[in-house]
């Protein structure tokens, strides 16, 4: 397993990294003093575990964790800090652990073991769509970067419909609730659809979106999706669901409610 340690005190960052290398689960560790440097490195080097100091300049540990989780939601985060008052904020970004300095090897080993035990089953496939928490699309484990937030939301809604066709009028009414679907709005929507299709083509995944006449749909056979596995009865995905589904979008609450009841029935 690969990990990173981020602490604005270089001695502490390197010391924690050295301690991590003593653990049998970890085979590679890189330490950083600056959060921005860590984020830049992560772009091409995904990790399973991030150990973060909280009180850091410019980008603090809570902000860094939120950024990591938004881009790489499968990464487990453990905070390592001298301040107990940040615990509530830490777990608000789904931290897997909270260690107080000075850190002992025993405490580190216990938190790392716990963090790994909570990690979700890794979805495998060339194209992976994650909906638990935030919505993200990955191609060969690299996140797709959408040119516009609305383009990403358009695709998210189509994924939410689980292969059903959606008219342009319905898309518009969901994404732009306060706008009348007239000729002007239709042209506005079509512009976003063109940008979305261009992005998908750039990543070589244009086949996940199908257009027929005035309707669009996501093609479930072209990607692996945690929500689809959840509704198919996959026990790993049902257990991995933590009550958050596409949390950036209000319209996702209906599906989120259905997920809640599915989990309740299993108890």
Using one digit for the tens of pLDDT, what is the confidence trace for 174-208? 999 999 999 999 999 999 999 999 999 999 999 99
Q: Could you read off the pLDDT of 13-33 as tens digits, one per residue?
A: 999 999 999 998 888 999 999
Topology annotation, domain 127-266: Arc Repressor Mutant, subunit A (1.10.10)
Task: Order the strands of the 127-130 sheet from edge to edge.
Answer: 142-143, 136-139, 127-130, 224-225
With cut-offs at 50, 70 and 90, classify the pLDDT of residue 216.
very high
For domain 2-117, the CATH class is alpha beta
CA dihedral angle for residue 238, residue 259, residue 155, residue 96, rounded to 10 degrees: -50
Angle at 134 between CA 72 and CA 260, to 5 degrees: 125
Q: Are 234 and 266 in contact (CB under 8 A)?
A: no
Q: Can you tell me the mean pLDDT for 37-56?
A: 92
Q: Are 22 and 105 in contact (CB under 8 A)?
A: yes
Structural tokens at position 176:
């732009």
Residue 167's H or E segment, with its range, is strand 166-167
Contacts of 91 (CB under 8 A, 6+ apart): 98
Calculate the average pLDDT of the chain. 89
Higher pLDDT, 238 or 169: 169
- Sequence spans of domains, the chain: 2-117, 127-266
Three-class secondary structure of residue 79 per DSSP: strand
Q: What integer pLDDT is reported at residue 88 of this predicted model? A: 60
């Amino acid at each position: 397993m690969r990990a990173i340690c981020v602490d604005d005190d270089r001695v502490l960052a390197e010391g924690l990294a050295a301690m991590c290398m003593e653990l049998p689960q970890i085979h590679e560790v890189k330490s950083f003093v600056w959060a921005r440097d860590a984020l830049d490195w992560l772009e091409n080097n995904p990790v399973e575990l991030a150990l973060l100091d909280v009180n850091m300049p410019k980008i603090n540990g809570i902000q860094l964790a939120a950024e990591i989780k938004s881009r790489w939601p499968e990464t487990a985060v453990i905070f390592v800090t001298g301040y107990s008052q940040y615990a509530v904020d830490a777990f608000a970004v789904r931290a897997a652990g909270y260690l107080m300095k000075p850190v002992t090897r025993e405490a580190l080993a216990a938190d790392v073991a716990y963090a790994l035990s909570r990690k979700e089953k890794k979805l495998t496939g060339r194209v992976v769509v994650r909906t638990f928490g935030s919505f993200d699309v990955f191609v060969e484990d690299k996140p797709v970067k959408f040119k516009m937030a609305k383009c990403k939301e358009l695709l998210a809604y189509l994924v939410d419909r689980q292969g059903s066709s959606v008219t342009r009028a319905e898309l518009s009414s969901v994404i732009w609730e306060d706008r009348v679907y007239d000729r002007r709005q239709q042209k506005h929507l079509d512009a976003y659809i063109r940008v979305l299709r261009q992005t998908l083509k750039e990543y070589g995944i244009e086949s996940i979106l199908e257009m027929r006449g005035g309707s669009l749909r996501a093609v479930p056979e072209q990607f692996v999706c945690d929500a689809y596995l959840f509704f198919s009865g996959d026990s790993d995905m049902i257990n991995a669901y933590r009550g958050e589904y596409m949390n950036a979008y209000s319209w996702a609450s209906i599906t989120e409610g259905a997920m809640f009841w599915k989990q309740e029935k299993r108890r």
